[in-house]
Amino acid sequence: MTPAPPAPWTTRPDFSKLTALIVEDDVDSREFIREVLRSCGARVVEADNVRAAKEFVNNLKFNLIVTDLALPGEDGAMFLKWLRAQPADKGRNTVAIAVTAYYENYPPGDVTGWAAYFQKPVDIEQFVRTIADLLHIPYAK
């Protein structure tokens, strides 16, 4: 059974033209982010590791990438560095949001390549508003 969208807000931006990649190894965190984005209309692709995420980036076009930083093996910080080294048509300029529960291991100043940085647990309102702002999607509340 799919959990109900975690939505404390009443006005949602229209993400129906948005295709997002979530890179997250924790199932609960991945489902949470997926449901938040889908409740706003986004199409969502999910990867639980960097290898799978790179494969998706090489084969699909995304408007947004949300990546956990603490991933097994190659971490999200390395993924962001790789992403920014890609050609423009393969993701270099894609808006990327970093999330982490391990703020002390991944302080914002030590990680590059992200447009926004969130500590877990993610504040839904701030998360959605930030995405709307970064992608120039109207969002009135």
pLDDT tens digits along 69-87: 999 999 999 999 999 999 9
- The chain-wide mean pLDDT, for the chain, equals 92
Q: State the Cα–Cα distance between residues 56 and 51, nearest whole angstrom.
A: 9
Give me the CATH topology for the region 19-134. Rossmann fold (3.40.50)
The phi, psi pair for 132, rounded to 5°, reads -60, -45
| pTM summary value | 0.91
Query: Is the confidence at residue 4, as pLDDT, over 70?
Result: no
99/132 Cα distance (integer angstroms): 17
Q: What is the pLDDT of residues 27-59, one digit of tens each?
A: 999 999 999 999 999 999 999 999 999 999 999
Distance (Å, whole) CA 10 – CA 75? 35
